[in-house]
Chains A and B, each alone.
Chain A
Amino acid sequence: MTRILPKNRLDDCIAAWRSAGFSVLAPVRRSDLSRFEEVERSEDMALDLVLTERTIKDHFFPQTEPLIKYSIKKHDIDTQEMVPPERKRVFFGVRPCDASGLAIDDPLFGWDYRDEYWFKRRDNAVIVTIACTTSDDFCMCSSVNLSPDSTKGSDVMLRPLQNGSGWQVEALSDRGNALLGPISSILKEGSDATASTASVPVRFDVDKVMAWLADPASFESHFWKEISVRCIGCGSCTFLCPTCHCFDIQDEGDTYTGIRRKNWDSCSFPMFTMHTSGHNPRNTQSTRWRQRIMHKFNYYRGKFGVNSCSGCGRCTRQCPVDMGITETLQAITNLTK
């Protein structure tokens, strides 16, 4: 016997969480774009999507975010921090790859100092993940040692029942357990079989890839030029990635007052590494694409012991020229056969 959340009680569930002070965010499709937004009713949720086009990362590390307000006076400077308010949020219907993405980024934001802007949101969020029963041609979680029902980064795991009537519920953390409190009367006991999870083929050999990337000779390989020749240098893959986390700091205002903001930046852009001298150490698209792959499957692992990729496949799915991590890592796998 396990606990079941019946699908027809989802509205009661949302209401219970809202009464307990949570905002409930779920996948929605609005203005021709699927993303996570606050919902009040289950009918607004788009739970049948393989994956939202935007990631939940957006709600923890927004594309633009004010850091401080400043004003410069004759003899001093006033600054006022703009740390986000503590807001309890439930993310319902997250996919395992997006949930994993948050867990992958946690050590980065807590490494040399604790990034309050990230952790104020992380600490007040409960991630309710639904295991995948469908996938598409671009999903690749199984290639990066994750799976359609990985629990990494999740506080509650929901596994769809075979008969489609609801989900089997498993709390994975204290936060997850606490979230089930307000809905304890909605959950019921049951032994219904769960639907089989999506079958996502292994598309590349990540161990071989990591070994090849770690070889110093690979850095100057002609491979990078060949694989990236059609890259147009946009930031689509980085900005849709659940783990990419690079940013730029910009001051907006006039001479005396303004707001310092943290804005997404991308290693695909030439400006990303442009020095004030005019010298650019990554002055070609191939060096920039190499950086992206090296960072994800070599440097990040070296520092934090995990690859910076959760296998969502958005980089390929939404690439204007049909590139992406999968093709590159398949090619590296084939190089080392």
Chain B
Amino acid sequence: MGIQEQYRSEAAGLLSSGAVKLVIGFGEGSTVERRRPVFVRTPAETERLVLDGGCVANLSTYLLTEGLLSDGKSVAVFLKPDGIRSINILAAEAQLNPEQVVIFGFDIEEGQVRALEGRKASDFAPVIGVAKAAGLSAELQKEAELLDQISAAERFEYWKDQFSKCIKCYACRQVCPMCYCRRCIVDVNQPQWVNTSSHTLGNFEWNIVRAFHLAGRCVACGGCDRSCPVNIPLRLINHRMAKEVLDAFDYYAGECAEQKPVLATFRQDDPETFIL
């Protein structure tokens, strides 16, 4: 039995026993290659679940749907290691109780799906340990270094050009499990702290606000980058922020549910190189 069939059958079992009220997984999309999130509530519907190399989205975002977990019942969700790290961060930030989340863990290597052992977020500590030891994505690092090689003025022009494409659709925010604020700072309008205008200044404001709020919280799932309808390379910004917190504080976001948020904690030996 392949992993897809195994998880389908387990999902059906969890639903019929009432252990979970909902399974959030992947299903067929509007084209042969596309996979889309599906929400399964009955054992019969588990037939719709698909698990293959196209299932790249981080579905943990949906766990924060208003009211979903407030009845104390459990929900099962298909997650890769990045999504499992998101669960740990959301638990650390008191946004969900990890005991209510049953995880169908998997990883994708060279287009092939591999099952990960465990059902609770804490079961996956070894997997996340391996990911941390492997370091940040070498591929992204290579891409980011190209930007490090040019002058600050050239880099500014690069980002100005990229941000000029932004239309403030907020797909990057909406798809992100870390952007759970019921009212984002850009939507606070009494007073309007951040311009809603999608001009150069407004686009810089939004993208910088987003970057800082994700520092030490982003798990590099790539959701924002894939969702951006105007192809802004958001991955490079996220990668840079992740590298900063890793280098400065040896901090790898989402290691476990007990991990303290990096920007909300202080240690005596924290580097303070930027304070004059």
Residues on A close to B: CB < 8 A? 31-33, 53-54, 63-64, 137-138, 229-230, 232-236, 238-240, 248, 250, 252, 261, 263-264, 266, 269-271, 316, 318, 320-324, 326-327
Min C-beta distance of A240 to chain B, whole Å: 6
* B223-250 interface bits toward A, Cβ cutoff 8 Å, 1 = contact, 0 = none: 1001101110100000000000000000
Complex alpha-carbon distance, A31 and B202, angstroms: 19
Whether the pair A54, B230 counts as a contact (CB closer than 8 A) is yes
- Count chain B residues whose beta carbon lies closer than 8 angstroms to a beta carbon of A: 39
Choice from B34, B162, B187, B231 contacting A271 with Cβ under 8 Å: B187
Whether the pair B169, A234 counts as a contact (CB closer than 8 A) is yes
In the complex, whether B165 has a CB less than 8 A from a CB of chain A is yes
Whether the pair A263, B39 counts as a contact (CB closer than 8 A) is no
In the complex, whether B30 has a CB less than 8 A from a CB of chain A is yes
Known: A230-B38, A250-B195, A320-B175. 15 other contacts (CB 8 A): A64-B199, A232-B61, A232-B175, A234-B171, A236-B171, A239-B169, A240-B229, A252-B195, A252-B197, A261-B197, A264-B198, A320-B174, A320-B227, A321-B175, A327-B30
Complex alpha-carbon distance, A164 and B38, angstroms: 44
Choice from B161, B174, B195 contacting A233 with Cβ under 8 Å: B174
Whether the pair A239, B61 counts as a contact (CB closer than 8 A) is no
Choice from A234, A239, A318 contacting B173 with Cβ under 8 Å: A234
Complex alpha-carbon distance, A33 and B197, angstroms: 20
In the bound complex, residues from chain B placing their C-beta under 8 Å from that of A233 are 174
Interface of A is mostly: loop
Whether the pair B170, A234 counts as a contact (CB closer than 8 A) is yes
Whether the pair A64, B30 counts as a contact (CB closer than 8 A) is no
In the bound complex, residues from chain A placing their C-beta under 8 Å from that of B229 are 53, 236, 239-240, 318
Min C-beta distance of A174 to chain B, whole Å: 34
Residues on B close to A: CB < 8 A? 29-31, 34-39, 57, 61-62, 161-162, 165, 167-171, 173-175, 187, 189, 192, 195-199, 202, 223, 226-227, 229-231, 233
Chain A, residue nearest B201 (CB): A252
- Chosen A-B contacts, 19 in total, with CB atoms closer than 8 Å, are A31-B162, A64-B198, A64-B199, A232-B61, A232-B175, A235-B170, A235-B171, A236-B171, A236-B227, A236-B229, A238-B169, A239-B167, A248-B196, A264-B168, A318-B229, A320-B175, A320-B227, A321-B37, A322-B36
Whether the pair B169, A137 counts as a contact (CB closer than 8 A) is no
Choice from B30, B173, B227 contacting A138 with Cβ under 8 Å: B30
Interface core residue of B30, B34, B57, B196 (most chain A CB under 10 Å): B30
Complex alpha-carbon distance, A269 and B186, angstroms: 12
In the bound complex, residues from chain B placing their C-beta under 8 Å from that of A54 are 230
Min C-beta distance of B173 to chain A, whole Å: 7
Whether the pair B162, A235 counts as a contact (CB closer than 8 A) is no
Complex alpha-carbon distance, A274 and B48, angstroms: 36
In the bound complex, residues from chain A placing their C-beta under 8 Å from that of B34 are 322
In the bound complex, residues from chain B placing their C-beta under 8 Å from that of A266 are 169
In the bound complex, residues from chain A placing their C-beta under 8 Å from that of B227 are 234, 236, 320
In the bound complex, residues from chain A placing their C-beta under 8 Å from that of B187 are 269-271
Complex alpha-carbon distance, A321 and B30, angstroms: 10
In the bound complex, residues from chain B placing their C-beta under 8 Å from that of A232 are 61, 171, 174-175
Which 5 A/B pairs are nearest by Cβ-Cβ distance?
A: A320-B227, A234-B171, A322-B36, A235-B169, A234-B174
Min C-beta distance of A236 to chain B, whole Å: 5
Choice from B62, B197, B230 contacting A263 with Cβ under 8 Å: B197
Whether the pair A316, B197 counts as a contact (CB closer than 8 A) is no
Whether the pair B170, A322 counts as a contact (CB closer than 8 A) is no
Using known A-B contacts A53-B229, A230-B37, A248-B196, determine if residue A63 contacts B168 with beta carbons closer than 8 Å. Answer: yes
Chain A, residue nearest B190 (CB): A276
Complex alpha-carbon distance, A263 and B161, angstroms: 20
